[in-house]
Structure 1
Amino acid sequence: MEPASQFGEDSWSRFHRWSPPVLLALGIVLCVGTASMVMTPAEWIPVSVLTVAAAALEVWWWRTGPGTGSVYYILRTVIAFALSWFNPFFAIYALVGYFDAPWLITERWARLGLLATAVTMAGSQSGGLPPSDSMQWTVFGLLFVLNAVISMVMYRIGERDLRRTEERIEAIAELERMNTRLEQALSENRALHAQLVQHAREAGIDDERRRLAAEIHDTLAQSLTGIITQLQAAGDAEDPDAARRHVTVAANLARRSLGDARRSVQNLAPEILEHDTLESVLAESVDRWSVEHGIRTDFTVTGDSEPLHDDIAVTLLRITQEALANVAKHASAHRVGVTVSYMGDEVSVDIRDDGLGFDPAAVSADGFGMRGMRSRVARVAGVMDVESEIGAGTAVSVRVPQVRAGSVS
């Protein structure tokens, strides 16, 4: 196995990889430079053998990698101690044992490794091993305690930092897992919304037929009945002025019925949204309604608008038209506000007026007004809230999922 694949390329991995052979080479240089002062000619042979053994150990470690870390650490510590016995300057090779004990061996044995390294370092700092007299033994003991305490303190600090690093890594990993689960949940939620819209499309045909039947009954049929009644009265009237009045009333009823018929036809035509955005179609519809009824109407859009799925857009358009129709019929309002709000996962339409108001509890399930509007909203997994008070106007708020165009085939 190549070294580059055994170790990560971060700074600590490079340090663990290169420091032992570099420090061994530095120890050899210091040994050669100080041999005449601290070594006898007879000691050159074991030092040479140990040096070759240390070099061979580094090559072996370079090839085998972290899987043999414990064996490598023990052998290196023993060789470094032996070299320092002959020449104290070789303690520089033992120094690396302070840094890689937690990395190479288990926590239980790492402390023993640090103490063994402290023995070698204290022996070198006190003038070499073995101590020659009681004074040197005392100095060696004090230096050993100092090295041991420093190494243990540094070990605890490193252990704490390592634990914090592992906790941060685990926290980041858990956050990534949570983000993944959240993305999956959001994806599933979008799929569920898309399925609800699809079901709404399939169920909407029958609902639309029932709505049209009710609307024809409530508007066109009643108007036609009124027209027939007025025309019959005009035919029976002997006074020409009375007959003209009946004809005039019938004509007005016919005009109103024509407007109702046109509105029903417009409601049946979702294709008006195929080439335009919801807010532009709503703005045009609101302006037309304002002109027809002579009521000041303000139209506002908030948020970043996006193309909506046809069923969502048509639902909001028809809800707005029905709410405005209710205002025209019942509210006697002087001012109306219509607001479209894009809120990321939802889109809402709010219709507020300053009219007469009503008791929502008394009409929430009556006729094809509020009940029909709530039914439309429910079919696309939306929510409709109605706030009203007699004499204080009415506010209708509709919130539906912001299913974008093309979400459902």
Structure 2
Amino acid sequence: MKDNSIDTRIIPILRWSIIMQITFLLISAFSPRFVLRKDEMRFALDQSSFISALILMFVLVSLLIPAIKSKIKKPQLLVLLFLLASITILARSIPPSLEKSDWFRGGINLLRWDTTFYLFIPLMFIAWQYSLREVMYYCIFITLLDILPFRIYGKGDNFFFVISMMGNIVRGLTLGIIGWITYRLVDLQRTQQKELEAANRKLRKYALTAERLAQSQERNRIAREMHDTLAHTLSSVAVQLEAIRALFSKKPQQAKQVLNRTLVNTRHGLDETRRALVDMRSSAVETYGLKQAIKNLVISAAERGGFQSKVSLPASDELLDDEINHCIYRSVQEALENSIKHSNAKSIDVALENQPDNFTLMIEDNGKGFDPEKIRKEQMGIRGMRERVELLGGTLTIDSKPNMKTKIIIQLPRSDD
């Protein structure tokens, strides 16, 4: 589907340009007229400039209304820009060319020299937001609209009208050249921006690869540690059992003491082995899938923390990247553990939304809250969660205050691959 959204930075700039244009139109509307044949000044309202100013005021007020401003898309903006250009041309061209008298208004000269400037403003916006085709359409439209009054009211043998028409054609060509240059510069900037974003994505992937390599090295270390611990424990148990067998009939009391030490060593070795196995086994996401893994995680945390829980997950079983699955699962896990340890919450809500451009994860509890600034500096778990999210190009927002509920919102962009 074609994206018709506009850059929101356009609207404030457009408002200021309209304000300037209204100012010049009002100056033109109330400026004195000089009667060439009678060599005198007369004050009269220029109705075309005044009406044009009123139209622009209406447009300006409309742009200040949030409900209207939010509905402006590319088609509406293009019509608005053509309207602004039309008002600029007509306010300059109709008077005095269509006047029956020989009046000449000094104020209209002020609008004449700035006409090209006000034609440049819509041109810049069109080159910024649209294709080269719209830029050329705009220049052709301006040229035809500029020539039209001279074709209707001008005299073919009048040298002034011929020169004016030629000047308008030259101005249209100039606008076209400048519009083409502007569009090429904007297109180059967009291309560079896309290349930069692609480089950032590659960099994030390299960082994730490095993280996975570090995890693999850590797993190997744990495997060696488990091997050494288990082998040492079993060897110790074997030696102690041999001693118990030798002492069992002759020195039962001493054999009992050795047996007790053997039990202690065995339990310690079992604990160490279990810890290593937990670190080595595959993640719950790989075993059950993301949705079921989150449900199991929340159920387990609710049983340990004694709180009510609510889980809202997408209905579809869309396959996500391993990095995104891992990030979402670890973020939920860290948030639940922090809630159990620190918040004293009575209920926790976990929601995952599958949106067109990103994934949004929200974890909210009704606990005692905290100061996010202090946690950001001191809590390693939150810091690790934030770093993991930012590696994927996402954002993490914590909304919490002491003695109030806590809401954690994570947004992760979709992968382009």
TM bracket (short chain): 0.3 to 0.5
Tell me the TM-score normalised to structure 2 length. 0.40
Higher RCO structure (Cα 8 Å, ≥6 apart): 1
TM-score, scaled to structure 1: 0.41
